[in-house]
Amino acid sequence: MRFHPLSVLSVLPFGPLSGIATPFASHWDDLREKHTWNSVPENWQNLGYPPADTTIDLHIALKAKNENALIDALIEVSSPGHPKHGEHLSREEVAELVAPPSDMLELANAWLEHHGVHPSTISTKHGGSWLTLMGVPVSRANELLRASYQLYQHVETNDTVLRTLSYRLPVALVEHVQNVAPTTHFGFPRTPRQEPFMRRGGATTEQTKVLGGEPGTVLSSRDQDVTPSFLRWFYKTSSYVPSAVDRNVLGVVGYLGDQPSPDDLRQFMNEHRSDATSATYSVVQIKGGGSNPSNPSNEANLNIQYTSAIAYPTTRIFYSLGGGDPLLNWLDYVLDLTSVPQTVSTPYSIPEYKVPLDYATHVCNLLAQLGARGASVLHSSGNDGVGHGNCLVQDSSGNSRVQFIPTFPSTCPWVTSVGGTTGYNPEIAASLSGGGFSVHFPRPSYQDDAVPTFLLNLGGQYNGLYNPMGRGVPDIALQAMGYPIILKNRHKKVSGTSCSTPTAAGIISLLNDYRISNGKAPLGFLNVLLYGICLEGLNDITSGSNPGCNTDGFSAVPGWDPVTGLGSLDFERLVAILSRW
């Protein structure tokens, strides 16, 4: 029996090691806890120990020798006016920045060899920052990590994973390992609440509440639709014709075997963009990704149909990932490519409190690598306003308290978080728009002007329910309600930030086309631009709120707010601004 990891190990930069000698064998038994859950995570049940012959692939992420090098480089290449602006890094240059100290790599290998892991079975990637151990017997993994791997099943989806509630590392290593996977991160299950919600009705009645960026679905009434023609008119992209289509790539990431249908895309384009009926896309299957386009998902069809309708004829790639940890599997794949897509749409998320800090930090570091290489990465902010239900959150120590619930990876400072709006004249906040403040990640410097202004005006409201020093989300927001799609030759209507995210990605991809066709570098990491020179190219949203957690939530106000961020995109104004840089 074999289980593949749901997560991959992470490496964050720390200071260089000096004078570290390989410990004696007894020193490997001096252990420190890396992460633990005091109880089985919510909605998972323990099925007991796996069969004795079960093996597992382990991934160990070592921290980089320089804590700040990657983020410093990311900010430099993303900041207009900096001498290195637009000089995005190559795969090899990023690998050099995240490489661990050579003596720490040697120390890690000595630890593994002490536990019977032969060097010939260990592979290294990404500058030596990832160590992969293939086919490790679970008994040896338990010994290595002082873990207790058991089988766990999700009570709603029946997904089964091999996980441990805690793991430990030698004191000599624990501060230099970012993460080991799979260990305590239980992954991204698709629960019934994440499935599209379907009912009869029109766009005007579909304030659906669905977790995790998934669309809420109703049968289409054909009126009041937020169609591609409306979006192209409203965000002012209708007159732009892409010309760098052989050099500009828009990537769409699909989890859990999601895959779109080319037949549904053809019908959709016939109905909504008759000038683009030849639109196609390619599919890359990763770690058991979907291979049956005759059984598409709402999510995949929505993303391909709207990125195609907005960005046609830009090259589009759909990355279809299977089970396990699709986010890390995709990051591992894409960071190993010689060139990365210039724009990436990922409309999936998970409550941040369910994600171990070490895992989240690793993923965020990998997303920063993508930005440094020139990718504009957009993640949906979720569909539960400030949080679902009563928002009673239990931490890893077993303590519970009420707090607002932002979603990850949207809270990573190195992605662009996309919330939702609705209506026009005026455009207002959609009540489902996920927003708030990260517990895992501090406020990044690019938010140092915008976010404190909101907090000052908020005053003491909701004190204790959010982290005022955390990274604020979302960054932008676009139309999220009433999108018609085609699914298995039928008309449906969907809503959610997984609608606004591919729309935003399509518009950003057109901006990248404009840049590339004029001999300039792609935008890369967007947020330094959005909070800086591009602020005048956004439509400020000043009405609406995102209720949740039995509260009214935050309110959209002039300037940045944790409902709609800085506002929606105005393509023509953004082109005018970017033409000067």
2 burial (CB, 10 Å; 0-12 / 13-18 / 19+) is exposed
The answer to whether residues 44 and 149 touch, using CB atoms and an 8 Å cutoff, is no
Position 158 confidence tier, pLDDT thresholds 50, 70, 90 = confident
pLDDT of residue 214 exceeding 70, the answer is no
**Known binding positions for Ca(2+):** 540-541, 559, 561
Position 379 confidence tier, pLDDT thresholds 50, 70, 90 = very high
The answer to whether residues 496 and 214 touch, using CB atoms and an 8 Å cutoff, is yes
The conformation of residue 565, written as its DSSP 8-state character, comes to B
The conformation of residue 139, written as its DSSP 8-state character, comes to H
pLDDT digits (tens, 9 = 90+) for 348-367: 889 999 999 999 999 999 99
Q: Which residues pair with 58 in a beta bridge?
A: 133
- Give the per-residue pLDDT at 25: 54
Q: Which residues pair with 565 in a beta bridge?
A: 561
DSSP, collapsed to helix, strand or coil, labels residue 6 as coil
Q: Which residues pair with 315 in a beta bridge?
A: 249
Q: Which of 262, 273, 267 is nearest to 237 (CA)?
A: 273
- Give the per-residue pLDDT at 120: 83
Region of poorest pLDDT, from 17-26, 195-204, 259-268: 195-204
State the Cα–Cα distance between residues 501 and 123, nearest whole angstrom. Answer: 36
The answer to whether residues 437 and 454 touch, using CB atoms and an 8 Å cutoff, is no
DSSP string across 295-320: S--HHHHHHHHHHHHHHTTSEEEEEE
pLDDT digits (tens, 9 = 90+) for 340-349: 999 999 988 8
pLDDT of residue 416 exceeding 60, the answer is yes
State the Cα–Cα distance between residues 190 and 256, nearest whole angstrom. Answer: 8
The answer to whether residues 168 and 146 touch, using CB atoms and an 8 Å cutoff, is yes
End-to-end CA, the chain: 56
- Give the per-residue pLDDT at 219: 31
Q: Which of 456, 451, 422, 421 is nearest to 436 (CA)?
A: 451
Q: Which residues contact 177 (CB under 8 A, 6 or more apart)?
A: 9, 34, 60, 61, 62, 63, 108, 169
Task: Read off the pLDDT of each residue in 139-163 and give the average, rounded to a whole number.
Answer: 93
DSSP string across 409-450: TTTSTTSEEEEEEE-SSS-EE-TT---EEEEEEEPPGGGTTH
Percent of the chain with pLDDT over 70: 89
Q: How far is CA 541 from the centre of its chain?
A: 24
Q: CA dist 230 to 39, 309, 477, 575, Å?
A: 49, 11, 16, 20
DSSP, collapsed to helix, strand or coil, labels residue 352 as helix
- Give the per-residue pLDDT at 396: 63
State the Cα–Cα distance between residues 335 and 467, nearest whole angstrom. Answer: 32
Q: CA dist 280 to 120, 292, 311, 351, 560, Å?
A: 43, 16, 12, 34, 37
Position 13 confidence tier, pLDDT thresholds 50, 70, 90 = very low
Q: Which of 411, 552, 403 is nearest to 465 (CA)?
A: 403
Position 215 confidence tier, pLDDT thresholds 50, 70, 90 = low
The answer to whether residues 410 and 434 touch, using CB atoms and an 8 Å cutoff, is yes
- Which tokens in the block code for residue 494? 């969907």
Range from 202-211, 221-230, 369-378 that averages highest in pLDDT: 369-378
DSSP, collapsed to helix, strand or coil, labels residue 370 as helix
- Give the per-residue pLDDT at 189: 67
Task: Read off the pLDDT of each residue in 394-413 and give the average, rounded to a whole number.
Answer: 88
pLDDT of residue 380 exceeding 50, the answer is yes
Report the chain's C-alpha Rg in angstroms. Answer: 23
Task: Read off the pLDDT of each residue in 122-133 and give the average, rounded to a whole number.
Answer: 89
Q: What value does the mean pLDDT of the chain take?
A: 89
**Known binding positions:** 540-541, 559, 561
Tally of CB atoms within 10 A around 46: 12
Q: Which residues contact 278 (CB under 8 A, 6 or more apart)?
A: none
- Which tokens in the block code for residue 262? 């080319």
pLDDT digits (tens, 9 = 90+) for 480-537: 999 999 999 999 999 999 999 999 999 999 999 999 999 999 999 999 999 999 999 9
- Which tokens in the block code for residue 14? 């720390």
DSSP string across 29-76: G-EEEEEE-SSPPTTEEEEEPPPTT-EEEEEEEEPPSSSSHHHHHHHH
State the Cα–Cα distance between residues 432 and 143, nearest whole angstrom. Answer: 46
State the Cα–Cα distance between residues 178 and 566, nearest whole angstrom. Answer: 33
Position 2 confidence tier, pLDDT thresholds 50, 70, 90 = very low
- Give the per-residue pLDDT at 118: 82
Query: Helix count (H) and strand count (E) of the chain?
Result: 14, 29
Position 190 confidence tier, pLDDT thresholds 50, 70, 90 = low
Q: Which residues pair with 153 in a beta bridge?
A: 45, 160
Task: Read off the pLDDT of each residue in 89-97 and give the average, rounded to a whole number.
Answer: 97
Task: Read off the pLDDT of each residue in 133-159 and give the average, rounded to a whole number.
Answer: 93
pLDDT of residue 33 exceeding 70, the answer is yes
pLDDT digits (tens, 9 = 90+) for 435-477: 999 999 999 999 999 999 999 999 999 999 999 999 999 999 9
Alpha-carbon torsion, ordered 394, 399, 405, 407, to 10 deg: -60
- Which tokens in the block code for residue 32? 């420190």
pLDDT digits (tens, 9 = 90+) for 275-308: 999 999 999 999 888 878 999 999 999 999 999 9
274 burial (CB, 10 Å; 0-12 / 13-18 / 19+) is exposed
294 burial (CB, 10 Å; 0-12 / 13-18 / 19+) is exposed
φ, ψ dihedrals at 416, nearest 5°:
-100, 120
pLDDT of residue 36 exceeding 90, the answer is yes
pLDDT of residue 43 exceeding 80, the answer is yes
